[in-house]
C-alpha cells in the first residue's frame, strides 16, 4: 500500500484512476440508494450489459470513420440512456413484460457490441477492459466526461430527493400528491444509466451491479434515512476503490476485479458480524430470562 501511495505521487495515470474512482463512488452511493429503494437492481443490470453495444459501436465508428472525437464512452452514454428509456416505457405501459424487455435489452446490447468489436479493424484489446474495467486507462478526456456525468447525476439526486424518495416508497401516494410518477421514474432510470457508465470505467460492465448494490446493502444496516445510506455507501465505495487500486497495483492484479472481491468480502463480513451479534444478544437475553 505504501508503494502504491508513493507511485500515486509519481504517476499521472494513477492519479486519474484515483480521481475517476472517487468521483464514481459519489454517484454510485446516491443513485445506488434509490436503485435499492425503488427495487430496480435488475434493470440496472440490464442497462449495464447493454452498454457494450454503445461502446462497440462508438469504437467501430472511431476506427473505421476516423472520428477521433468519438470516445467509446459517448457511445456508452447513448446506449445506456436508450436502454433505460425503452425499459422504462415498457414497464410503465406493460408492467408484466418488464422482465422480458430487460432480458432482451441485456442480451441484444451485448450481442451488438460483440459484432461491432469483431468488425473493428485491429486488435480487439478493448473487449476485456469494457467487460471487466480498466481504471488505469482513464485519460484526462474521459476524466472530464466522468466529472460532468457525476455532477449531473449527483445534482439531480439531491435536487429531487423528496420526489425520488416518494416514488420509491409509495407510488400511489406520490401520485395523489401531484407528483408526475412516470416522469420521475424515467428520470431515475436515466440517472441509473449514467451512473452505470461511470462505474463501467472503474470496474467494467459485468461487475457494475456489485458496486451499485452491495455497499448500499451494507450502509442500509447502519442508517436511519436514505440520506445516510447515500453518504455511508459513497464513503464505503470510495474506500474500497482506493484500497482496491492499491492492492491491485502492489500485487499486479486487475483493478476492477480486485475492487469487486473486496466489496463482496466486506459485504459477507458485515452480514456475518451483524447476524452473529444479533444471535449473541438473543442468547444473552435467554440467559437473563432463565
Binding site for other proteins (CB under 8 A): 36-37, 39, 158-163, 165-166, 168-170, 172-179, 217, 220, 223-229
Shortest spacing between CB 186 and other proteins, in angstroms: 17
**What is the SS3 assignment for the chain?**
CHHHHHHHHHCHHHHHHHHHHHHHHHHHHHHHHHHHHCCCHHHHHHHHHHHHHHHHHHHHHHHHCCCCCCCHHHHHHHHHHHHHHHHHHHHHHCHHHHHHHHHHHHHHHHHHHHHHHHHCCCCCCHHHHHHHCCHHHCCHHHHHHHHHHHHHHHHHHHHCHHHHHHHHHCHHHHHHCCCCHHHHHHHHHHHHHHHHHHHHHHHCCCCHHHHHHHHHHHHHCCCCCHHHHHHHHHHHHHHHHHHHHHHHHHHCCCHHHHHHHHHHHHHHHHHHHHHHHHHHHHHHHHHHHC
Least distance to other proteins from the beta carbon of 203, Å? 24
CA pair distance 203, 99, nearest whole angstrom = 25
Nearer to other proteins, 24 or 33 (CB): 33
C-alpha cell at 180: 408526475
Residue 246 CB, nearest approach to other proteins (Å): 31
Q: Which grid coordinates are listed for 80?
A: 445506456
Cβ-based nearer residue to other proteins, 95 or 224? 224
Residue whose CB is less far from other proteins, 174 or 200: 174
Shortest CB 51 distance to other proteins, Å: 27
The nearer residue to other proteins, 159 or 276, going by C-beta atoms, is 159
C-beta closer to other proteins: residue 144 or 173? 173
Query: Measured from the CB atom, is 61 or 217 closer to other proteins?
Result: 217
C-alpha cell at 156: 439531480
User: Please, what is the minimum distance in Å from the beta carbon of residue 189 to other proteins?
Assistant: 18
Minimum separation from the CB atom of position 231 to other proteins (A): 12
Chain centroid to Cα 202, Å, comes to: 9
* 8 A C-beta contact, residue 43 and residue 189: yes
Residue number, 29 or 54, with CB nearest to other proteins:
29
Q: Among residues 106 and 184, whose Cβ is nearest to other proteins?
A: 184
Q: How far is the CB of 267 from other proteins (least distance, A)?
A: 14
Rounded least distance, CB 98 to other proteins, Å: 17
Amino acid at each position: 500500500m505504501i508503494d502504491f501511495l508513493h507511485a500515486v505521487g509519481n504517476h499521472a495515470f494513477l492519479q486519474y484512476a484515483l480521481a475517476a474512482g472517487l468521483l464514481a463512488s459519489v454517484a454510485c452511493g446516491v443513485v445506488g440508494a434509490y436503485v435499492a429503494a425503488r427495487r430496480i437492481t435488475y434493470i440496472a443490470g440490464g442497462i449495464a450489459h447493454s452498454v457494450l453495444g454503445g461502446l462497440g459501436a462508438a469504437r467501430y465508428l472511431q476506427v473505421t470513420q476516423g472520428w477521433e472525437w468519438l470516445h467509446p464512452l459517448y457511445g456508452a452514454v447513448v446506449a445506456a440512456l436508450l436502454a433505460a428509456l425503452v425499459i422504462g416505457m415498457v414497464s410503465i405501459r406493460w408492467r408484466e413484460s418488464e422482465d422480458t424487455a430487460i432480458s432482451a435489452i441485456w442480451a441484444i446490447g451485448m450481442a451488438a457490441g460483440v459484432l461491432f468489436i469483431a468488425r473493428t479493424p485491429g486488435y480487439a484489446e478493448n473487449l476485456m477492459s469494457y467487460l471487466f474495467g480498466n481504471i488505469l486507462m482513464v485519460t484526462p478526456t474521459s476524466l472530464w466526461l466522468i466529472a460532468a456525468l457525476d455532477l449531473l447525476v449527483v445534482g439531480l439526486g439531491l435536487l429531487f430527493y423528496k420526489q425520488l424518495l416518494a416514488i420509491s416508497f409509495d407510488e400511489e401516494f406520490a401520485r395523489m400528491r401531484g407528483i408526475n410518477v412516470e416522469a420521475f421514474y424515467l428520470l431515475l432510470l436515466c440517472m441509473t444509466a449514467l451512473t452505470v457508465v461511470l462505474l463501467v470505467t472503474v470496474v467494467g460492465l459485468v461487475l457494475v451491479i456489485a458496486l451499485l448494490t452491495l455497499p448500499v446493502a451494507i450502509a442500509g444496516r447502519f442508517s436511519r434515512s436514505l440520506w445516510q445510506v447515500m453518504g455511508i455507501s459513497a464513503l464505503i465505495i470510495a474506500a474500497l476503490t482506493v484500497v482496491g487500486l492499491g492492492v491491485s497495483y502492489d500485487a499486479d492484479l486487475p483493478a476492477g476485479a480486485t475492487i469487486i472481491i473486496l466489496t463482496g468480502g466486506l459485504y459477507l463480513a458485515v452480514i456475518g458480524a451483524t447476524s452473529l451479534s444479533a444471535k449473541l444478544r438473543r442468547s444473552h437475553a435467554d440467559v437473563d430470562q432463565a
